[in-house]
Amino acid sequence: MAEVNFRRVSKRYGRAPYVIHDLNLDIGHGELLVLVGPSGCGKSTNLRMLAGLEAITEGEVLIDGRRVNELHPRDRDIAMVFQNYALYPHMSVYQNMVLNLKVRKLPREEIARRLDYAAGILGIEALLDRRPSELSGGQKQRVAVGRAIVREPKVFLFDEPLSNLDALLRVQMRAEISALHKRLGATMVYVTHDQVEAMTLGSRIVVMRDGVVQQVASPLALFNEPTNMFVAGFIGSPPMNFVRGTVRRDGVLRFVSKDGTIDCEVPQALDAHVDGEIALGIRPEHLRPVTPEDGRFAATLKRVEPLGSELLLYLQAGADELACRLPADIPFDEGTVHLTCPVEAMRFFDPATERRVA
């Protein structure tokens, strides 16, 4: 295990604009930290700088308090699992897994001990004599993870390791990586663009956008208390609904959408934003169809996506499109759907800055 620290780290290529901006991040001993964000946000670049595969333009990276900026990748005591497995096709699984140990001239008994341990916890003992071309995608990924385990590094790095697998295998491998982390107690940094993967794996998640960290928090904190509209819209599937309007004082505080289709009471904390433009955010899970008398607003049903135990309703409320996630047994009208949402589940944002308010 090891602690990892990024101290004001920035990265640029030549005279091009910075792709990483002033990154400050602390990763604790034994933590599984996930970096998530859209393609091109800089998450893999951060991983590669930690691994020593990319030079750091500014700032410093520390592993267990030791600056590693100038250290060669082999001297950083890290192991990396790549998206494309990076297995030598002409070598057997056994040879792929022990190659690095032989290069380091470890004793034969130590190599055997590490190999037996890694193969045992990953269930790949029967694959050791095969070559990569004889393996399925899931088996190749297990071998790639096993090759990292035998090194017994201070830090494990995963660069979108499941993106080449089908949906069922991704679910299985997520569970295996989570169980592996608990078993090894190792420090792991995991990069993905899949927010479901991030939510199910990470003890903390770093959400990135255009090389800038937007929020660092636990999965539940990101979901329930997003710091801005980008995080709110990126975390969750379907993402949070946004409706723009104003807050008005009419005996009580009310949010009124631009076309007047949503009109509902809002928290007293929004008093400072009366008559200013504001964005109301509602998770699809928090919308519920009710009778016309109990509804906060009405919307027109556009389409329904059945998901077995759940339904996704896509609705039109004036100029705004809304998604609603329901248990499959909850009834709803086919035409106009009357909806409600608990006040405590509403989130409000400043449309100009996208920052959360109240």
- Residue 55 is predicted with a pLDDT of 95
Q: pLDDT digits over 222-276, tens only?
A: 999 999 999 999 998 889 999 999 999 988 889 999 888 888 888 888 888 888 8
Break the chain into its structural domains and give their ranges: 4-234, 241-357
- H-only helix segments in the chain: 43-51, 93-103, 108-122, 137-149, 167-184, 195-201, 219-224, 229-234
Residue 30 per-residue DSSP state: T
C-alpha to C-alpha distance for 231 and 226, rounded to whole angstroms: 6
Share of the chain above pLDDT 70, in %: 100
**The pLDDT of residue 97 is above 90:** yes
C-alpha to C-alpha distance for 317 and 303, rounded to whole angstroms: 13
Residue 332: HSE in the Cβ half-sphere, 13 Å Cα cutoff = 30
Q: How far apart are the first and last CA of the chain?
A: 39
Q: How confident is the model at residue 9 (pLDDT cuts 50, 70, 90)?
A: very high
Q: What is the rounded average pLDDT for all residues in the chain?
A: 91
HEC states along 264-284? Answer: EECCHHHHHHECCEEEEEECH
CATH 3.40.50.300 is right for the domain spanning 4-234:
yes
Instruction: Report yes or no: 135 and 93 within 8 Å, Cβ to Cβ.
Output: yes
Out of 63-72, 149-158, 257-266, which region has the weakest mean confidence (pLDDT)? 257-266
* 241-357 has the same fold as 4-234: no
- DSSP for 70-121, written as a single string: TS-GGGS-EEEE-TT----TTS-HHHHHHHHHHHTT--HHHHHHHHHHHHHH
Q: How confident is the model at residue 298 (pLDDT cuts 50, 70, 90)?
A: confident
C-alpha to C-alpha distance for 256 and 265, rounded to whole angstroms: 9
Q: How far is CA 248 from the centre of its chain?
A: 36
Beta sheet of 4-11, edge-to-edge order? 20-27, 4-11, 58-63, 66-67
**Cα angle for residues 20, 22, 24 (degrees, 5° grid):** 110
Selected from 2.40.50.140, 2.40.100.10, 2.120.10.30, 3.40.50.150, the CATH number assigned to the domain covering 241-357 reads 2.40.50.140
Q: How confident is the model at residue 65 (pLDDT cuts 50, 70, 90)?
A: very high
C-alpha to C-alpha distance for 203 and 34, rounded to whole angstroms: 8
Q: How confident is the model at residue 291 (pLDDT cuts 50, 70, 90)?
A: confident
C-alpha to C-alpha distance for 95 and 110, rounded to whole angstroms: 15
Instruction: Report yes or no: 278 and 355 within 8 Å, Cβ to Cβ.
Output: no
Most confident range (mean pLDDT) of 51-60, 283-292, 308-317, 338-347 is 51-60
